[in-house]
Amino acid sequence: NSFVARTNTCGELRSAHVGQKVTLYGWVQYQRQGLFLVLRDFQGLIQIIIPQDEAHSHVRKLLSNAPVESVVRVTGIVSPRPPGQENPKMPTGDIEVKAETAEILNSCKKLPFEIKDFIKKSEALRMQYRYLDLRSFQLQYNLRLRSRVVMRMREYLCNLHGFVDVETPTLFKRTPGGAKEFLVPSREAGKFYSLPQSPQQFKQLLMVGGLDRYFQVARCYRDEGSRPDRQPEFTQIDIEMSFVDQAGIQRLIEGLLQYSWPEERGSITTPFPSMTYEEALAEYGTDKPDTRFGMKIVDVSDALRQSDIQFVQNALSYPHGTIRAICIPQGLRYLKNKDLESLKESAKSQFNQEIMEIIRRPDGSLKSLLTKFLGEKQQRELIQALNMQVDDVVLLAAGEHKQVCSALGSLRLLSANLLEAAGLALRDPAAFHFLWVVDFPLFLPKAENPTELESAHHPFTAPHPSDASLLYSDPTKVRSQHYDLVLNGNEVGGGSIRIHSAEQQRFVLEKVLKEDSEVLSHLLEALEFGAPPHGGIALGLDRLISLIVDAPSIRDVIAFPKSFRGRDLMANAPDYVSPEELEPYHVQVSWPLEEKEAKKN
């Protein structure tokens, strides 16, 4: 309460304050029949008793007529509530304030929605009136917890471990590869800035500059269009260190998260488990496994190798052919036929992958189109390999390893959603399962042209020391020194040890990726001036906080987020600017014909 006119906040008053005269400021939460109202501020609620005697008639009239969400000042005496009228659900439920004087500081007009967490309102309406939505308990809690976590991270990095907090520019130039960048016109004809998708180059240049340990709460920008649960501008906890290896970065981040983790969310155990990219793909069908539940992908190739099933034999004849399956516990009890059909349809439409189902009946026998092709021994081996219990349902796929695993990984998550919707508790919402995923491939074939390669992450990632020679002979086989941090099936961080040799960096850009290295001439030159070995990581702050508070969307942990389509619905941005304003930037808008006509009319 320093620097302000109030004596106390609404939410801090307790029985110890009984008899004290207090001055409170807040919003009218609700008012009942001119007898009392509930006043709210950022810290909580307090019941205000409206005086009924003639001497205070002006106070009664003022408070009785104050519209909900009006801002008021109340001065009064803290009193115990009458016996039997205490409210154990309110932290201030043992007391009330008997109003003596009051003032309406600002009256509130009719609200577009009620400021209550349990009232359903469309997200578009919430974002249009974001300043009202911010008054809700949940958003207040989310933003205050976010602030607390960031403050603890600063303490850990700067005060305990000697990191330097450096702001890097947001007006930069285009970076090859990666996500699309926003362009900013300049007054030089035909020349544009780019908004950085991360401070990647700057943090490496800071290491060349000898800063040793850099940290920033960094604003980043990606023009990704309408992708669900992504934001065009977002925040990273950005970190870089000199003379460090992968294990050093991992230990730093584990310590950072343990130090900044909110007490009310329990404690987290370190070190976090680690898994290679190949293991993650083989067992979970994804590079960001949710390890809170089982249902792992199982290789059943050996159990079916001797069978006469044509599609099995076809699959196994390919170089990377495999037969894999997942076992859905109690699937027969919890899933309907339409659920199983939707799972099979999903695999077909998304991955072009056929799925066979196998059910273990109550009598222990198997029900499937496959069983007539399988002897008793093969059936027993299949049951054993998948640890099938009565009422379990198995989804089986045959084909190329990566496609099969990716399809089953997707079905694993969809099945978990269906089981939980039907009432089977599978994933503990209060559990936090961190995981490092390591040994990613350094390069991947381009989707639009598989004969060309692109960086699996970005072109500055160093090759795995064991694979360094393969970079020049067979780059497709090179593993990287990249590492991802996964939490409950969501990627919350990613980083790598960087290339610090100009010669190796130029080779990757020009010979492997076929990029024009001239765009990065400043970085390549910097690496020639005694660049130290260095590495780093970036944590996605929005995603991390949304998982900590169990928010349905990252928009619920950002004060002023953009909509699904990247628009600010409150201020209606982006907006048109006049041709006169564009003229200094040498930019002309080429309007689609229908928009030209609309503007004429």
Number of domains observed in the structure of the chain:
3
The reply to whether 305 falls in a domain is yes
Same-domain status, 157 and 83: no
Q: Kindly report the CATH number assigned to the domain that includes residue 46.
A: 2.40.50.140
162 CA to centre of own chain: 28
Question: With the C-alpha atoms ordered 509, 515, 516, 520, is the resulting torsion angle positive or negative?
Answer: negative
In a domain, 357, yes or no: yes
pLDDT at 89: 94
In a domain, 453, yes or no: yes
The pLDDT > 70 percentage for the chain reads 98
pLDDT digits (tens, 9 = 90+) for 181-195: 999 999 999 999 999
pLDDT tens digits, one per residue of 452-507 = 999 999 999 999 999 999 999 999 999 999 999 999 999 999 999 999 999 999 99
Specify the pLDDT at position 594. Answer: 64
Average pLDDT over residues 515-534: 95
Task: Give yes or no for a cis peptide into 574 (omega within 30° of 0).
Answer: yes
Give dist(CA 462, CA 497) in Å, integer. Answer: 6
Please report the pLDDT score of residue 144 as a whole number: 98
422, 453, 484: which is the final residue of a domain? 422
DSSP 27-47: EEEEEETTTEEEEEETTEEEE
Q: Are residues 44 and 166 in the same domain?
A: no
Whether residues 387 and 450 share a domain: the answer is no
Average pLDDT (248-263) is 98
pLDDT in tens, 412-439: 999 999 999 999 999 998 999 999 999 9
Q: For residue 84, tell me if it sits in a domain.
A: yes
Q: Is the pLDDT of residue 600 over 80?
A: no
**Claim to verify: residue 89 and residue 159 sit in the same structural domain:** no
| Co-location of 368 and 442 in the same domain | no
- Give the pLDDT confidence of 73-127 residue by residue, as tens digits: 999 999 999 999 999 999 999 999 999 999 999 999 999 999 887 788 899 999 9
Mean confidence (pLDDT) of the chain: 94
Q: Which of the four pLDDT bands, split at 50, 70 and 90, describes residue 307? A: confident
In a domain, 115, yes or no: no
Question: Is there a single domain that holds both residue 240 and residue 147?
Answer: yes
Asked, for residue 567, whether it belongs to a domain, the answer is no
Domain with 332 in it: what CATH number?
A: 3.30.1360.30
How many angstroms from the chain centroid is the CA of residue 540? Answer: 7
Out of 86, 106, 126, a domain closes at 106
Shared domain for 455 and 384, answered yes or no, is: no
CA separation for the pair 184, 1 (Å, rounded):
43
Among 389, 422, 455, residue at a domain's last position: 422
pLDDT of 83-93, one tens digit each? 999 999 999 99
Expressed as residue numbers, the domain containing 538 is 140-275+433-556
- pLDDT for 429 equals 86
Residues 513 and 459: beta-carbon distance below 8 Å: yes
Q: Is residue 134 part of a domain?
A: no
Please check whether residues 205 and 150 belong to one and the same domain. Answer: yes
- Beta strand pairing call for 482-487 and 44-49: unpaired
Closest CA to 200 of 538, 541, 453, 542: 538
pLDDT surpasses 80 at 514: yes
Q: Indicate the SS3 state at residue 600.
A: helix
Has residue 509 been placed in a domain? yes
pLDDT in tens, 216-246: 999 999 998 667 678 999 999 999 999 999 9
Give pLDDT, residue 1: 84
The verdict on 157 and 53 lying in the same domain is: no
List the CATH number of the domain containing 549. 3.30.930.10
pLDDT digits 0-9 by tens, 542-598? 999 999 999 999 999 999 999 988 999 999 999 999 999 999 999 999 888 666 566
**Alpha carbon distances (Å) from 515 to 200, 462, 518:** 18, 17, 9
Residues 208 and 312 in one domain: no
Q: Is residue 438 domain-shared with residue 412, that is, in the same domain?
A: no
What pLDDT digit, counting tens, does each position of 532-551 carry? 999 999 999 999 999 999 99
450 shares a domain with 356:
no
